[in-house]
Amino acid sequence: MAHTDYSFTKGDTGSKVRVRIIHSLTGQLLVPCNGVYTAYIWVKPQGAASVKRTMTVLSGANDGFADYTLLGAELLEGELQTQVEIERVSNGQIVSELGVKTHKVGPKLSM
């Protein structure tokens, strides 16, 4: 019997998207990141409009990464598309834009 792998579950709270912050020209991890760059994520749930959200830029051992905790309302069954933009704080220039990633959101099983 075939099965489908899902990235997220419908309506879940606490699910995170974590990205490595890479400079688009050099391909290298952007470090230091916190205070120097801002990360945004575009979130487009199945059948809904895309919304731009601010990501948490991490520091310390996780410097060069950012994450975003998805809202339950963003996890609609079907496909969830995300795209991340990294902006330099000093001048607002976008230094990296990751491609669109498609995640599968599966149903929540009930009893």
Amino acid code (one letter) for 95: V
User: Position of tokens 């601010």?
Assistant: 54
Q: What is the pLDDT of residue 55?
A: 96
Rounded to 5 degrees, φ, ψ at 72 are -55, -35
Rounded distance, CA 89 to CA 7, Å? 31
- How many CB atoms sit inside 10 A of residue 82's CB? 22
Rounded distance, CA 88 to CA 93, Å? 5
Q: Does the structure show a pLDDT above 70 at 1?
A: no
The reply to whether omega before 32 is within 30° of 0 (cis) is yes
Q: Does the structure show a pLDDT above 80 at 24?
A: no
Q: What angle do CA 62, 29, 39 make, to 5 degrees?
A: 70
Cβ 64 vs Cβ 31: under 8 Å: yes
Cβ 74 vs Cβ 43: under 8 Å: yes
Q: Does the structure show a pLDDT above 70 at 6?
A: yes
The pLDDT tens digits for 34-76 are 888 999 999 999 999 999 999 999 989 999 999 999 999 999 9
